[in-house]
Structure 1
Amino acid sequence: MPAKEKAEAAGAVSFSVERLQRLAAMEEDHFWFRGRWLWVQRFLQMVRGASSGPVLDIGCGTGFSAALLASQGFPVVALDPMLEGLRLAAHRKPRLHLVQGSALSLPFRPGSLQGALLMDVLEHVPAEQALGEVWRVLTPGGFLIFSVPSLPWLWSRRDEGAGHFCRYTRKQMRRLLIQAGFIPQELRYYLFLLLPVVLVSRLLARFWPASEQLEERPGKLANTLGYVLVRGEVGVGRWISWPLGSSLVGLAFKPREGFRG
């Protein structure tokens, strides 16, 4: 997609109401979401205690991550452009602080937030602009936790259907973070052990489009086995940096005042 069309599309909602409802049904149990949250928990342990300021979940969708953050004692603000997503989030976690807004124009004062989550958001919007907005609203020393789909050669119909602009490499994300003014702390590939299965699934979908549903709706046994594998991968990932993975997760910081890189 040309850059101009990307910028125009960024203001549009790329998730249909139907897709949001499907996500709400998947997030509680699907091994991919549960494994991704294990990474988020690890990063939260690294930043816990730094401050008690609010954490913004940008593009909160159905409120899955925001609800988990709130349940762990973090003061959370959940932001999404879609009212339907915010309604689902309110149902999932009553009394959650919800805001309708765009990742490209965050309705918060400069330096007013301690942390931010961008969970599979940057592939839907111009990443430079979104990261610049996050940098603006974070306090010096504030943190950013993010995830994005990775490896451009995994591009498939699923990416097109989900409204993705691109898939990222670790090198690309590091460069984007640094250009936005962040200090990358962790950049980890996720789903290394299941990468062959993902690759076969994407290739199969070219000839049998209905097979795409298998990734979203694995059988009970496959889902259990998938979670065992990703849980082990995340655990071992404390000491091993996996060379590849179909997703990329990371932690970065806004420099404290007076920092010189």
Structure 2
Amino acid sequence: MLKISQRFFSSTCRTAQQQQQQPLMIKNSRIAASVILTRAPQITRSATPFEQAYFDYKEKNERQTSAVFPQDFYFKKGSVAERRWKEDVQARDAAMKDPSVSLTQAIQQQQQQQDTTTTTTTTITGTPIQILDRTTQADKDNDIKKLDRALQHNLYLIVKQHQQWQFPQTDLQANEYLHEAAERHLSESCGKDMDVWFVGRQPITFYKQSPSRKEDTEGLKARMYAGQVKPNNKDVSDFAWVTKDEMATYLSPDYYKAIKDSLGDL
């Protein structure tokens, strides 16, 4: 009697496990869950020519209508600070007469000249402010596997799966929610060394495969905060972090057309 119970229990467990591993079928179509994993912009975007022209006009208009600065009250006569202030005022006055130069650019150019001509002012007024380059080494090398590239834009993770580029994707198993399938596959195929937050449990995009494949893909949005992808080379053979515009050169036209409206340009 005990052996019969054990055989019945083992067969029941195997049956339940097989049912759970079988892809979910709805109207003869498989349901797939994919992850739209995003690395948010790390720096503010550059202003457009129209925005820059507006900021320059506003800055010059405010200077033209502002009250006279009482420099005798703030600077000691003959001091280095007074001399630097007068040089800045001359640079601003010259920029006010030249529409092609903004006040900010004029001051930056003036400060660069001051820093290169003398070292005394650096010791008195402190370390000068340095504006770093907005392009990184990864941008110059066009290294699409680095996360420190295209800092002004969103980066999206695409993987080479089944010999084609797409978002990380897996079939939805029986008794499994979409977000559970997406989290499971991302961890299994891309590694666990990532700090990922799923924005919600509802898909933000839908892609219906060709009638011959009979597969419907639901895309869930997630954010990448730290770590890096480590593909297992079984489901995922390669990966890339690309912008929305760069993605068009990797994905198939139908796939890109279906998902592009759910992606941000920044």
TM-score by structure 2 length? Answer: 0.20
Select the structure of larger CA radius of gyration.
Answer: 2
